[in-house]
Structure 1
């Protein structure tokens, strides 16, 4: 019927990132919405949709970064603590630390890897735009040669590092370096291939998800391999430093109502006077190592490799007294 007004759905594409918004307008069939109507809808979409999405994106990004850093700090604390305990002959399975405790213990060790990762990321963020701009000014042949050179440099570096890491890693001063070089070589070769694919095909996913996942898994595996070796060496160094400065550790006196049969180099058992006292035996010559749940890990004051680590459990009839070493 002539003059009939139909309800028409108009699809609005806002210039900002957000969901597609539909609005209903009454207009004659076949008539397009006016510019004023379109501008009004875009303004409403930007005002209503943009802010919640940006807030959700910021919260999601922050939560993801915090979760990733917490997991990394937990891994750092777990590996280093295990290496420190193994130096004293204590199985890491005997220690039950919470996630927060592992994160706190990793505060010093995780600082160097995080700073290195941040430094490399900043360098990449500065170099990448300059490299892309320089390549755009070159001829196609020169671009192909430059990107091919970058790819081959990365592959040669990764191959050499892999041969050294798997072949003679036990005879080099720091085998973690070769794992990090392997990860760097894989990253450089993947970057060269990705940049070449983007330059000639205009696509970011020319390798396919399976190939990308495989390369990322190899890079992460090499990074964690090098990080694991670094943390084990650092944990051993921390243990050696503790063993060489036991006089600076907190001293421990253990009082007991019954004999505990605690012995070791420098440990003395003292029978306390007074038959009516709650504690009849005392043990001197102990220093603090760690505490996990209700277990106290103590070292003889004259500990040396081969000497035992004393593990005592908190229970009725036993008291622990901690005090500062003389001169500290």
Structure 2
């Protein structure tokens, strides 16, 4: 008896056209997010950004007290340490915006991929809004001579350029089917570059606001700074009534003559704002619009004593 062995029937092969039709048609948004991530991945670039934003916020802080940050001689590490406070709010806002944009993109993805009419309408609206914001941003940029005194000029200009370029880039990458997206790639790359530059500009403006705000908070209560007693050989002119000067009793030699080179004047009512490489920057106890920062070189002609106060609520 001969047994006939039956082989199981193979399922019919899928048609290439059917597979292609069922495959999800992405709009390339995740690809552009990956492209943007390449700008912030290197550690050296992150360090450079921290240094820059720390410099911007520190410059605004010390400029409020009339001091140019470049004369302080702060190291790169000190600028980096000063940057997290200035970057915290912008980074949190940008991360939340990126999450919101990603959710909105995924909600539109299926509709735009299936309906060509919906794709056309949405991309037209986004492109029109993006171009309008770019025009407004360019108008603000070229109107610097007339609008520079507006407090929100820098942020408004940068935000219009960044948001407008982002909307235009999204519309350009979504206007055509994925197989034709290569034609719009150069335009999208340029728009993404404008968006990155605008975001950088807006973040730097926020860092400057943060530094100036920190300076105003510090000026409202200078008691948190170390108190300074300054002795000098020559009389200074602090130019502020909050700073008091006392003429020290002069020591005399055996002949009854004042000893040359001794400290003759003592100043109270000073606070240490910051120490530079070879000088001290002192401010009065009470800051006012007509106050000024006293720059004292570290030399044998002066004697400085500091007084540190405990915390207002020390532990038991």
Provide TM-score, normalisation by structure 1: 0.68
Which residue matches 1:292?
A: 276
Contact 2:59 2:68 in 1 (8 A): yes
Q: Distance in 1 between matches of 2:197 and 2:181?
A: 29
Deviations 1:53-103 (A, max 9, x none): xxxxxxxx8993433332222121211221222222222331221121112
C-alpha change, 1:253 and 1:262, in structure 2 (3 Å) is farther
Which residue matches 2:73?
A: 96
**SS in structure 2 of the partner of residue 280 of structure 1:** coil
Contact 2:111 2:118 in 1 (8 A): no
Contact 2:274 2:280 in 1 (8 A): yes
Which residue matches 2:15?
A: none
**SS in structure 1 of the partner of residue 270 of structure 2:** strand
Q: Distance in 2 between matches of 1:235 and 1:73?
A: 14
Q: Distance in 2 between matches of 1:327 and 1:268?
A: 26
Which residue matches 1:67?
A: 44
How is 1:16-165 mapped onto 2 (pairs within 5 angstroms)? 64-138=41-115, 140-164=116-140
C-alpha change, 1:260 and 1:215, in structure 2 (3 Å) is farther
Which residue matches 2:244?
A: 268
Q: Distance in 2 between matches of 1:214 and 1:137?
A: 28
Which residue matches 1:228?
A: 204
Pairing partner for 2:171 from 186, 192, 217: 192
Deviations 1:208-248 (A, max 9, x none): 3xx45543443233223333333333333222222222233
Structure of higher RCO (CA pairs closer than 8 Å, 6+ residues apart): 2
CA apart distance, 1:193: 0.1
**SS in structure 2 of the partner of residue 207 of structure 1:** helix
CA apart distance, 1:186: 0.9
Q: CA RMSD in A?
A: 3.3
C-alpha change, 1:62 and 1:173, in structure 2 (3 Å) is closer
CA apart distance, 1:188: 1.0
C-alpha change, 1:117 and 1:132, in structure 2 (3 Å) is same
C-alpha change, 1:279 and 1:105, in structure 2 (3 Å) is farther
C-alpha change, 1:310 and 1:173, in structure 2 (3 Å) is closer
C-alpha change, 1:200 and 1:156, in structure 2 (3 Å) is farther
Going by fraction, where is strand more abundant, 1 or 2? 1
Pairing partner for 1:324 from 305, 308, 315: 308
- Number of residues paired by the alignment? 264
CA apart distance, 1:272: 4.4
Which residue matches 2:159?
A: 180
CA apart distance, 1:326: 9.0
Unaligned stretches of 5+ residues in structure 2: 1-37, 253-258
**SS in structure 2 of the partner of residue 307 of structure 1:** coil
CA apart distance, 1:187: 0.8
Q: Distance in 2 between matches of 1:327 and 1:284?
A: 21
Unaligned stretches of 5+ residues in structure 1: 1-60
Which residue matches 1:241?
A: 217
C-alpha change, 1:221 and 1:136, in structure 2 (3 Å) is closer
C-alpha change, 1:68 and 1:221, in structure 2 (3 Å) is same
Contact 1:273 1:280 in 2 (8 A): no
Contact 2:278 2:298 in 1 (8 A): yes
